[in-house]
Amino acid sequence: MNWEEYIQMWDNSSIQLVDIRQIVISSGGKQQYHLPVSGFIYIVQGQGSLWLDDDIHIFKRFYLLHAGKGSRIRFEAGQDEVTYYYILYRGSMSPKASKEIQKNYLMNNPFQLPYAYQPLAPVNLYRHVDSMYEEWNRRQIFERFHVKIFFYQFVYTLVQQLKLQGVTSKEKDMVEEIIQYIHEHFNESISLESLAEQWNYSIQYLSKQFKLRTGRSPIEYVIQARMAKAKELMIRTDATAQEIASSVGYSDVFYFTRLFKKQVGMTPGQYKKKMKESAGDSDSPWEGFVSSMGKHSSTCYVIDDNHYQYKTEGDRQMYKGTRSKMVLTLMLCFTLMLAACTNGNSSQNNTQGSAGGNSKQSAESTQNMPSNEAKEDTSMRKVSTVMGEVSVPTHPKRVVVDWDLGPVLAVGVTPVGASSTQMNFAKFLKPYLPDTVQDIGLEGSISLEKVLDLSPDIIITWNTAAYESYSKIAPTVVFETSKYSTIQEEITAMGDILGRQEEAKKWNEDFEKRTEAARNKIRNVIPEDATISIVDYITVDKFLMVIGNAGERGGRATYDILGLNPTPKVKSEIIDKKEDRIEVSWETVNDYVGDYVIVLKVEGKEPPKLPVTWTSLDAVKNHHVIEIEMEKYFAADSFSSLLQAEDIADKITKMAASAK
């Protein structure tokens, strides 16, 4: 922009002031509206995010923005209270202006020109704005006339600074570019590691800067963007839960449903029903979250329009005050310096007994340890892993695990932190999990900051891609369960990693006894040659999911621990091919369902209307159907699988008893 031409157009225009106000937004607050006329927005206090149509601005104190009539404005305050002024005006070109000026006006209407910048001399502009505000609110004709003088002085000072600073258009910084990227690629795989690699910054620096500027971590922002889009699809379309989950980046509809419920406070079905019952509610949650970043046209913007889309538990959490980032950085540096010798001075012994009934014995053995060993043991040893040899503490006390929670509990260790996915979807493990275990985030979006805050002396992960990031915080072991052919081998390996060899041995002995007891319970209940299948029609649409002996949903418990027989099709097409599960059409269901069938159910979710190909099955007609709960059977770890097997044996026994 040629600022001399710009001020020349102002000089040949007629200006009418419409309104001048001072607005305060509380910490974490939101506000959005359309500009009814052209206007200046001058932020004098606080920091946060501001959307102007398709552009996002990360602001801090003394940030000035100009926008034309009809522009969509959205504020999100950060950790501190935000104070800003808006000055609304109408401008029109004088018909007496020269043809050249009128031509420039048509090509570059100064009253519609969007721009934003941080002034070099902000206090001078503030004096003009504050004077305008004071005079305007006296509501006297002379004062209102006087305001116009201040307004022209404000514009003159503003253009002087714009010219001096060489402002042409606003350049996005790293955080703004990442936010733009998230809104354009929300339905793709986005991780903290991929963002750090793309912008060529360390994970710690990128995460720190993003959270400092927005009040949320990048992954929290991704989740909220996805949930906002999912809400819009639920309100505006008849898309199924599976279709919505896929469209916002989640292949597993059950995982999406659980995440949605955690963020919004209700299931997708409950949310959709509630929105349909809300008369006249046509707001778009997606646009409420991102303004027009998603290239949609807004139908309505209302100041403080933050009803259903913002009043959720997840959203409230995102805007809480964050801890000092300087402490976080120093902690990371300190952790890296001590990686070779670990954090051996843990304040407490976070262990408990294994599931075989040895918790009391384990606690007593800890109490009877020599006092010098109980207080501190900083010795190290090497363990062989899929990533090579790793030095780990001889007796780790502060364990963080992002997936294989069961084996850790089985050897008598209570972690200080675990994935909420495992804690929420491995319900059989709940009795062994005290409230002291901290949530480190959902699987696929683990918070490195939360892990860092826990000061672990060892991290157990399944994820080789996360190994490098984790290993910067503490010694890290990739626990690859596919290396072990039996559950006993798996538990033995975890015992070696955590220095709990004796506990692992006792658990394995108990496992053999409990397995034999469960098998004996059903031995005389169902025929020895009877076949059994596991199916899921509750978390999928329009087809049937058939489960093998690997993965979640009780397959390991049914086929490996209880030793029940799969149908020939399940064996040849799933188990022999080492597949977790396959999807089959309802027309072919008879080929996969055996004499007995285990069916998944989800609390609060009604099953679909079942076709005749299902209701005509012998297993269904003979009432050989066993229902199991998804929240208890989603996990497939060794400990959960044992508990699942005992539960299935009990259900089969009760089914047989009720049939007599």
In the chain, the amino acid numbered 570 is V
For residue 12, report the phi and psi dihedrals to the nearest 5 degrees: -105, 25
> Span 383-409, mean pLDDT?
91
Q: How confident is the model at residue 340 (pLDDT cuts 50, 70, 90)?
A: very low
Chain segment 522-537, per-residue pLDDT in tens: 988 889 899 999 999 8
Q: What is the pLDDT of residue 167?
A: 56
What the block records as the tokens of 564 is 């029940």
Radius of gyration of the chain (CA): 31
Provide the CATH number for the domain formed by 3-165 in this structure. 2.60.120.280
Q: What is the pLDDT of residue 166?
A: 63
Q: What is the pLDDT of residue 289?
A: 52
DSSP 8-state secondary structure symbol assigned to residue 334: H
Least confident of 179-188, 491-500, 647-656: 179-188
> Span 98-109, mean pLDDT?
78
pLDDT at 377 over 70: no
Contacts of 612 (CB under 8 A, 6+ apart): none
What angle do helix axes 218-236 and 174-184 make, rounded to 10 degrees?
Answer: 30
- CATH topology for 326-509? Rossmann fold (3.40.50)
Contacts of 623 (CB under 8 A, 6+ apart): 655, 659
> Span 301-321, mean pLDDT?
32
Rounded to whole angstroms, the Cα distance separating 331 from 171 reads 33
Chain segment 615-644, per-residue pLDDT in tens: 999 999 999 999 998 888 888 889 999 999
pLDDT at 407 over 90: yes
Rounded to whole angstroms, the Cα distance separating 413 from 124 reads 62
Q: How confident is the model at residue 103 (pLDDT cuts 50, 70, 90)?
A: confident
Q: What percent of the chain has pLDDT over 90?
A: 26
> Span 467-476, mean pLDDT?
88
For the 524-659 domain, the top CATH level (class) is alpha beta
Give the Å distances, CA to CA, from 154 to 35, 127, 129, 138, 629. Answer: 20, 9, 7, 19, 66
Contacts of 455 (CB under 8 A, 6+ apart): 331, 335, 343, 398, 474
Rounded to whole angstroms, the Cα distance separating 378 from 134 reads 66
Least confident of 97-101, 410-414, 473-477: 97-101
pLDDT at 542 over 50: yes
Q: How confident is the model at residue 376 (pLDDT cuts 50, 70, 90)?
A: low
Q: What percent of the chain has pLDDT over 70?
A: 82
Q: What is the pLDDT of residue 645?
A: 93
Rounded to whole angstroms, the Cα distance separating 125 from 578 reads 69
Rounded to whole angstroms, the Cα distance separating 285 from 232 reads 5
pLDDT at 161 over 50: yes
Q: How confident is the model at residue 314 (pLDDT cuts 50, 70, 90)?
A: very low
Q: How confident is the model at residue 173 (pLDDT cuts 50, 70, 90)?
A: low
Q: Which residue has the higher pLDDT, 273 or 315?
A: 273
Q: State the chain's mean pLDDT as an integer.
A: 79
Q: How confident is the model at residue 300 (pLDDT cuts 50, 70, 90)?
A: very low
Q: What is the pLDDT of residue 254?
A: 74
Q: Which part of the chain is CATH 3.40.50.1980?
A: 326-509, 524-659
Beta strands in 164-255 (DSSP E): none
Tally of CB atoms within 10 A around 23: 14
pLDDT at 608 over 90: no
Q: What is the pLDDT of residue 637?
A: 87
* HSE toward the beta carbon, residue 244, CA cutoff 13 A: 26
Q: What is the pLDDT of residue 617?
A: 93
> At which residue do the structure tokens 């959902």 appear?
442
Q: What is the pLDDT of residue 146?
A: 82
Q: What is the pLDDT of residue 160?
A: 82
Q: Which part of the chain is CATH 1.10.10.60?
A: 174-318
- CATH topology for 174-318? Arc Repressor Mutant, subunit A (1.10.10)
Q: Are 39 and 87 in contact (CB under 8 A)?
A: yes
What the block records as the tokens of 341 is 């010798």
Q: Which of 405, 589, 384 is nearest to 497 (CA)?
A: 384
Nearest 10 degrees: Cα torsion 116, 121, 124, 129:
20
Chain segment 193-236, per-residue pLDDT in tens: 888 887 777 888 888 888 877 778 888 888 988 998 888 888 88
Rounded to whole angstroms, the Cα distance separating 3 from 166 reads 9
Q: What is the pLDDT of residue 565?
A: 94
pLDDT at 484 over 60: yes
Contacts of 657 (CB under 8 A, 6+ apart): none
